[in-house]
Structure 1
Amino acid sequence: MIGTHFIELPVPMPPMLPEMVGANNTQYFALYYQGSKATWSNGRAGSTFSYYAVYAPLIEHIALAIHLEPYNLGADDELPEHAILCDCALNKMYVGAYKEIDYFLLQQHSDELPKLSQQEFEVAVKALEDMSLAQMQSLGMFEMFGNTNPQARQQTAELVHWLDRQITEELIQQYIQSANRGNWTAMMALETLKRRILEAKKQQQQLDSN
C-alpha cells in the first residue's frame, strides 16, 4: 500500500525507466541524487545510473519539472529530502519524503536477509568481470570521462519522446502562468522547449532544401 503522504505525479512512469536505471525484478524503487550521483534504491539494493542520459532528461522535462520544483531530490552539496517513488506494477510515480519512502521500500522485502553461497558469489563476480564497457557506460560508471554510448543516447531519445507525449495544452498554460509570475523553473523549462522546437524546425528546413 502506497504511503498516505506520497503525492502521485500526473505523469505515468516511463515504461523504459526501470531498464535504463538498472532497477530490475522489483515492484518499487526510488530515484534521487546523492553523493554527486543519480541513484536508485529498492530498500535493499541500489546503484548509481547515468545523470545525463536518464536523470536530467527525466526530472528536467517540461512534463515533470514544475511538479517536482517544490521538492529537494538532492544536490552535490546536500542530501535528498525527497525522492521519486516508482511503481513498476501500475506504472505510476510518486514523490514524498526521502526517509518515508526509504522505510516504505523496506516493507517490500522479507525480514530474512538473502544468503549468497560461494558458487553464487563466484557467479556474481564473474558477471561483473564480463560486463562490457558499453554496459558500464550505460549505467553511468564512466560518465565523468565522456558522453554515454550511442545505445544510451537512443534510450534517452526514447525517454524524452515518451515524456513529450505527456505534454498538454493545460500544462503549457500552467508553465506560462508560472513563468509570468517569475517562476525560474517554469521559465527554464519553456526556454528549453523553445530551443528544441527551433532546432526541430531548422532540421526540417534543411531536409526540405535537400
Structure 2
Amino acid sequence: MRVLLVEDHAKLAETVSAGLRREGMAVDVSLDGLDALEHIGVHRYDVIVLDRDLPGMHGDDVCRAVVDGETDSRILMLTAAGTLEDRVGGLGLGADDYLAKPFEFAELVARIRALGRRARPAVPPLLTHGDLELDPARRVALRAGRRLPLSPKELAVLEALLEAQGAVVSAEELLERVWDEMADPFTNAIKMTVSRLRAKLGDPPVIETVAQAGYRI
C-alpha cells in the first residue's frame, strides 16, 4: 500500500511516516498543500492522510482538488478540532474518513488499512495459492500451516503478487506500490526482495519470473 502523508509539523510527519513504514506501507511525505498536489500528480496513492490546517494551500482546498481530479485515492482527514461540525465539514468536502488529533497510532493504522482496501478492487480477506496463505489485515503469511518470517517489504510484494491472481506484475508496478520516493529506482532492491521471498517461501517454487515483463504467482 502506498500512502501520502500531508502534515506540516515535520517532527510529527517523521514519526508517523517511520511508524507506517514499520507497518509495511510505502510512505511519501509532504509538508504543505502545494507540494502534496505535485506528489499526487506524479504518483498513485491508495490513501492520502491529509492534515486540514496546512500552510501554502489549506487542506480543504487540497481535498477538493483531489476529489475533482477523480482519483481513486482515499482521503483520511486529520485535524486538531474534533467537533461534530468539523467532522461533518471534512466529510462534506469529499474526505472518506476523519480522525481528530491527538490520535492513537494503532487507530490511524487501522483506518488507513480500511481505506486502502476500499481504494483497490475487492479482494478476499485471505489471499491463497495452494498451501500458501496471506492475511493482509494481520500481516501474517503461512505455508503449509507454518508462519513465514517475512519482512514488511517481502509481505507487501507477496500481497501484490497474490492479488494479481496469476497475472504478471511488472517491476515498475511493484516499485510504485511497495516502495516510496526514498527508494532508488536504479537499484536492484526488487530483485533482491523477490530473491529473499523465494528462499523463505521454500519448495516447490511459486514465484515465476517472466522475461522482460515482471513476476507472477
Larger radius of gyration: 1
Structure with the larger RCO, 1 or 2 (CA within 8 Å, 6+ apart): 1
Alignment TM-score, normalising by the size of structure 2: 0.29
Which has the larger helix fraction?
1
Q: Structure 1 length as normaliser, TM-score?
A: 0.30
Which structure has more strand as a fraction of its residues? Answer: 2
